[in-house]
A and B are shown apart, each in its own frame.
Chain A
Amino acid sequence: MLLRHTPPELAERQALTVNPAKTCQPIGAMYAALGIHNCLPHSHGSQGCCAYHRSTLTRHYKEPIMAATSAFTEGASVFGGQANLLQAITNIFTIYDPDVIAVHTTCLSETIGDDIPQIVSKARDEGKIPPGKRVIHCNTPSYVGSHVTGFSNMVKAMVDYFAESPKGPSAGTTPGRAVNVIPGWVEPGDTREIKRLAGEFGIESIVFPDTSDVLDAPQTGKAQFYPKGGVAVEELARTAASRATVCLGPTASEAAARQLYTKFKIPLESLELPIGLRATDRFVNTLRHLARSPVPASVAAERGRLMDMVTDMHQYLYQVRVALWGDPDQLVSLAGFLADLDMRPVYVVTGTPGKQFEKRLETALAGRVPEAKFRQGPGADMFLMHQWIKNEKVDLLIGNTYGKYIARDEGVPLVRHGFPILDRVGHSYFPTVGYRGAMRLLEMILSALMDKKDRDSPEESFELVM
C-alpha cells in the first residue's frame, strides 16, 4: 500500500494538512501571465518559488515555462526587495526583451511588505522601462486563498493595467462589437475550443488570458522564446470598449469581469465553466443571445452527438459513485455533469476557500445526490477524502495526478482532470469544455470503468461486446 498510514477512523485536525487539494497563489499568477503575448512572468521572492512553479507547470504542460525571479537572499529579506526588482527589470528588458513583465509577489515579499507599484514607478523614473514596454503586477500572498486565487488576481491585474477607456469623438456612446471572454483556469486546448465556439456564432471575441499557442506550441525545430499565442496588449486595452464580458468559472474569472463592469460599465454574464452538457448549454445560450442568431447547425450537431453517446451509454454510468477533488470551477461543473448522467458525485473536495462554493455545488446537484459530502478551504485535503473513501467506497476518482496513489491502493479507476497532471499527456491539447469536450470526458470515464470491468470480471463473463 502506498498510503498505508491512512486510517479509516476520522479525527478532526486543526493544524496539520495532509496531501493538500490546492497549492499556493503565485503559480496561478504565473500561469495566467503566460496567456499574454510577449510577456515574461516575474516572481518577486526567493528563486525557489520561481523554480518550483516553473517545474510544476512544465510537468503539467510538457512545454517550456519561461519566468524570472527577484532571487532574494537574506539581505533582501531584511532590507526589502526593491534593489532586486529594479535590477531584474533592467536585466529582463535587456536580455529577454518582453513587451510586458508581469510581476507577482510571494509569501516572502508580502511578509516583508514590498510595495510593487512604488518600485515599478521608481524603475520608470530611472528610465529602466523602455518606451512602449509595460510592467504590471498583482499581489499573491501564498498564505491566502490558493493557486486559483493567484490566477484570478493576475487576470484582474490585466484589466487594471491594460483596459483603457475608448478615446475619440464617439467614445462611450456606442459600445464596440467585441465580446470579452474570460475562460478561467483551463487548458490551452480548452481556450482554443472556447474561441472556436464563439467563432461558430460569428462573435468577435477578446479572450484573456489565452495560453493556446503558448503552452501547446508546435514542434518546428525552431525554438521561440515567446511563442505566437497569448492575448496582445492592444486587445486587452480594447476590453474596456467591448459590449459584454462573459466570464467562465466565477472563482477564477469573476474578479476581472467585475472590474470591467465597475470601471467601464461593461455588462457581464458570469457562468460556470462549460464542462459537461448543461453548463455548455448555458454558455451556448449566452453566445446565442450575444450573437442574436440561432445556434448554428454545426454546434447543434455536436450537442446531438454528445446526447447520442449519453443516452446510449447510460447503463454503464447509472449510480456510479465518484470522488472528485481539485478546483472549485471545475468541480461545480463536473459534479453537475455527473449528476445529469445519473452518476453520484458523493465526495467533493477542494483546498480553495470561497463563500459561494457550497451554494454553487448545491445548485449544480439540485438535490439529486443527497448523500454528497463537500469540504473546502484549509484542512480540506486528499487525506480526508481518502478516509471517506475507506469508509464508503467509490467506483471512480476524477482529479489530478496525486489521486493515483488512492486509485492503486483502493483499486478504483482514475480519470485525470484538473491541475496538475504530471504523468500523462493529452489534457493540454484535447479540450474537456463544450459538447466535444464533454464527449471526451465521457469517453475517458467509460474507458476507465470498462477497463476496470474487463480486468476484474471472471473469464466466463468477460465480454467482447459492449
Chain B
Amino acid sequence: MSIDAAQIKQQLLEVYPSKVARKRAGQIVVNRKAEGQEVPEILSNVRTLPGIISQRGCCYAGCKGVVLGPTRDIVNITHGPIGCGFYSWLTRRNQTRPPTPEDENFMTYCFSTDMQEEQIVFGGEKKLRQAIQEAYDLFHPKAIGVFSTCPVGLIGDDVHSVTADMKEKLGINVFGFSCEGYKGVSQSAGHHIANNQLFKHVIGRDDKPLPGKFRINMLGEYNIGGDAFLIEDLLERCGITLCATFSGNSTVGAFERAHGADLNCVMCHRSINYVADMIQKKYGIPWIKVNLLSADATAKSLRRIAQYFDDPELSERTEQVIQQEMVAVVKAQREIRPRCEGKLAMLFVGGSRAHHYQFLFAEIGMRTVAAGYEFGHRDDYEGRRVLPTIKIDADSRNIEELRVEPDPEKYQPRLDADRRAALSASADMELNDYRGMMPDMEHGTLVIDDISHHEMERLLEIYRPAVFCAGIKEKYAVQKFGIPCKQLHSYDYGGPYAAFQGAINFYREIDRMVNTQVWSFIQPPWEKHAGPTLEATYVRE
C-alpha cells in the first residue's frame, strides 16, 4: 500500500479555519528516519482549540482517575459537585486484589462532597471538613485524599489547610490535590500534580527495611484488566522483589516504603516520570525505562533489570524464565502471524500505550501506519534528549515544579560513578532516559498529537486500517465505519495484555478482530448484486 503521508496531512488540514490549520500542522508530523538524524519535532502538550472534538479529558481526571484511583486503601474524596466523582467511579477497570477479605478496599466506592449552590456562594471548606470527619468515622482509613474540581479553585476553598487541620485532628494521613479541571491542557497536568503530592505526603514516610535481594518499584503500571498480576508473578519467578507499584494493585503502605527499593522501573513515562526523577534526587534510586507490552519488549526489560543488578544468578534465572515463557509465545505467533501479516493498525491513546502496543502488533506482522498520544509531551514522542529545548508555556508554568534536594539522612546512591557511566553507555539500557515513540516508528508514518475526531474520520476513510486503537469515546464511531476498534484504556473487559501470557492474549484478540467474518455481513445480500435480477424463480406445485 503506497500512501503519501505528506499529502494525507494536507487532506487532514483542508477543512480547518486557518488559525486551527496552522496549529494542527505542527501537531501532525510525517515521521522521518535517516542515519545520523534525529526524528522531526512535534508540537504537543499544547491547548486543544475550543470547538475541536478531542479525546482529551481534564486535570482532575488525570490526577484522581489515573494515579491515585487504583490505590485501594485510601479514601479518595472528590470535593465538588457530584458529576466528577460519579464519572470517575470505577470506570477505568483498575483491578485490585486485597490479600484477605478483611483488608481495605475503597475502590468500589465513590466519595463526594456533592457541593450545592450554598457552598458555591459561601464556600465549601466547612462541608469538606465535615465530609472528612464523616469518612473517618465511618471507615477509619489510614489515609484520605481530597481532589479539587473546577469550582473549588474559583471560590477559593483552601483545601490544603483543611486537610492539614484534619490530619492533625484525626492522626491519619490526610492531604489534598489542587487538580481543578481547567489546569494545564490535558490529564497530563493532573498526573504531575498527583506525582507531587504523592512525593510530598506519602513516599518515604516509613523506613521499615524491605525484604529481598533485588528490590524494584514499578512505576506507571495501572493494572488495567489484570496486567499487574501477570507482572507481579513474572518478577517473582525471576527472583525480583516488587516493593511498590505506582499504582496498579497498590496500597498507601507500599508507597510509604518505596524509597527502600534499589531501582525504579518506569512503564508509562508520561504519567509518572516526575516521581521517578524526584526519588532519584532525594533518595538516590536510579530509574530505567521498561516496557512489559509485547514478548520481545518484556524480555528486554527483564534483561535490563538483571543487567542493572549485575548478578549472574539473577541473569541466569531471568533467562530461564524468558525461555520458558517464549515457548508458548512463539507457538502463538507462528499460528497467528500468517493471518495478520501486513495488515494496518493505528493507535491513538494515552501517554505511552500508543508506543508500547506497536511492539505487540509488530510481533504478529502488523504495521502501525499512524499513532499519537492524547496527552503526551515532546519527550514522549522524540525522547528525553529534547527536554532542555522544550519551551515552557503559561499552561505548564502553572503546575508546581517541586525543588528536590538529596535527603540528608536517607540519600544513598545505588550506583557508583563508573557503574553509572557503564550503564548509561549501554545501548540496551535507558538509564534515567526514555527514547520516545518516534524513533521506533517507520519512516513515512504519521504521528498525530491530540488527534481530532475529524482527522480520525479522514484517516479511517483513507487508510481503511484493519484495526484502530483508541478509547471509549472513539470506539463506536470507528466501528460505524465498518472497522474494529480496540480500547487500549480499558481493554473492553478483556486482558490482561502485559508480559508474555498477556502478549498471547493480545495476539488472539487482534486475530479475532481483524479476521472475523462479522464485518462482511454488514452489507445486505440484496445490495451486493446490482440490478433487479431475480435470483430464484417461484415454482408452483
Chain A residues engaging chain B, CB cutoff 8 angstroms: 1-5, 7, 11, 13-20, 22-27, 42, 45-49, 51-56, 58-59, 62-77, 84-85, 87-92, 94-96, 106-108, 110-112, 141-144, 146, 217, 219-225, 351, 378-379, 383, 402, 405, 422-423
Contacts and interface: CB of A to CB of B under 8 A. Distances in A.
Contacts of B111: 16-18
Interface stretch (B54-62, B509-517, B533-541): B54-62
Given A47-B57, A94-B17, A144-B117, A223 B106 contact: no
26 contacts: A2-B108, A13-B134, A16-B131, A17-B85, A19-B109, A24-B81, A47-B58, A51-B61, A54-B473, A66-B477, A71-B52, A76-B182, A77-B180, A91-B16, A91-B20, A95-B20, A95-B454, A107-B115, A107-B120, A110-B120, A111-B150, A111-B154, A221-B480, A351-B82, A378-B116, A422-B91
B49 A91 contact: yes
A52 B61 contact: yes
A217 B471 CA distance: 20
Nearest to B80: A107
B128 A15 contact: yes
Contacts of A2: 105, 108
Which of B56, B57, B106 has its CB near the most chain A CB atoms (within 10 A)? B57
B61 A70 contact: no
Interface string B114-148: 11110110000001111101110111000000000
Which of A17, A53, A423 has the most B CB atoms < 10 Å from its CB? A17
B112 A17 contact: yes
A223 B477 contact: yes
Interface in B71-94: 77, 80-91
A22 B61 CA distance: 19
Interface in B1-54: 15-17, 20, 47-54
A71 to B, nearest CB: 5
Contact of A51 (B50, B130, B473, B519): B473
B181 interface: yes
Contacts of A46: 58-59, 150, 181-182
Contact of B522 (A49, A92, A221): A221
A220 B114 contact: no
A49 B50 contact: no
B110 interface: yes
Q: B85, B114, B452: which has the most chain A beta carbons within 10 Å? A: B114
A68 B153 contact: no
Nearest to A83: B50
B476 A69 contact: no
B50 A84 contact: yes
Nearest to B523: A221
Contacts of A94: 15-17
A99 to B, nearest CB: 16
A408 B54 CA distance: 37
B114 A107 contact: no
Nearest to B527: A220
Contacts of B343: none
B85 to A, nearest CB: 7
Contacts of A20: 82, 85-86, 110, 112, 114
Nearest to A382: B110
Given A16-B77, A223-B480, 7 more contacts: A55-B87, A58-B476, A71-B52, A91-B17, A91-B52, A107-B120, A111-B154
Interface residues of B, number: 94
A58 B473 contact: yes
Given A16-B131, A20-B82, A48-B61, A1 B101 contact: yes
B154 A112 contact: yes
B149 interface: yes
Contacts of A219: 479-480, 482, 522
B398 interface: yes
A71 B54 CA distance: 9
B183 interface: yes
A95 B52 contact: yes
Given A75-B394, A106-B150, A111-B154, A16 B130 contact: yes
Most buried by B among A15, A422, A423: A15
B526 to A, nearest CB: 14
Contacts of A11: 134, 137-138
Contacts of A17: 82, 85, 110-114
B109 A26 contact: no
A350 to B, nearest CB: 13
A3 B72 CA distance: 12
Contacts of B482: 219, 221-222
A27 B138 CA distance: 31
The residue among B84, B135, B151 with the most chain A CB atoms within 10 A of its own CB is B151
Given A19-B110, A47-B56, A74 B86 contact: no
- The 3 tightest CB contacts between A and B, nearest first, are A48-B58, A24-B83, A91-B51
Contact of B87 (A45, A56, A87): A56
B92 to A, nearest CB: 10
B476 A64 contact: yes
Given A47-B54, A88-B51, A52 B155 contact: no
B110 to A, nearest CB: 5
B182 A73 contact: yes
B524 to A, nearest CB: 9
B453 interface: yes
A23 B83 contact: yes
A143 B51 contact: no
Contacts of B87: 23, 52-53, 55-56
B185 interface: yes
Contact of B49 (A65, A87, A221, A351): A87
Contact of A146 (B17, B20, B82, B112): B82
Contacts of A85: 50
B457 interface: yes
Interface in B460-485: 460, 471-473, 475-477, 479-482
A91 to B, nearest CB: 3
Task: Find the residue from B53, B127, B185 having the highest chain A CB count within 10 A.
Answer: B53
Interface string B270-304: 00000000000000000000000000000000000
A91 B58 contact: no
Contacts of A88: 50-51
A366 to B, nearest CB: 32
Contact of B59 (A48, A70, A225, A351): A48
B104 interface: yes
Nearest to A219: B522
B395 interface: yes
Contacts of A96: 53, 454
Nearest to A52: B87
B91 A55 contact: yes
A249 B57 CA distance: 33
A56 to B, nearest CB: 6
B104 A48 contact: no
* Residue of A71, A222, A224 contacting most chain B CB atoms (<10 Å): A71
A110 B85 CA distance: 19
A49 B131 contact: no
A141 B182 contact: no
A51 B58 CA distance: 8
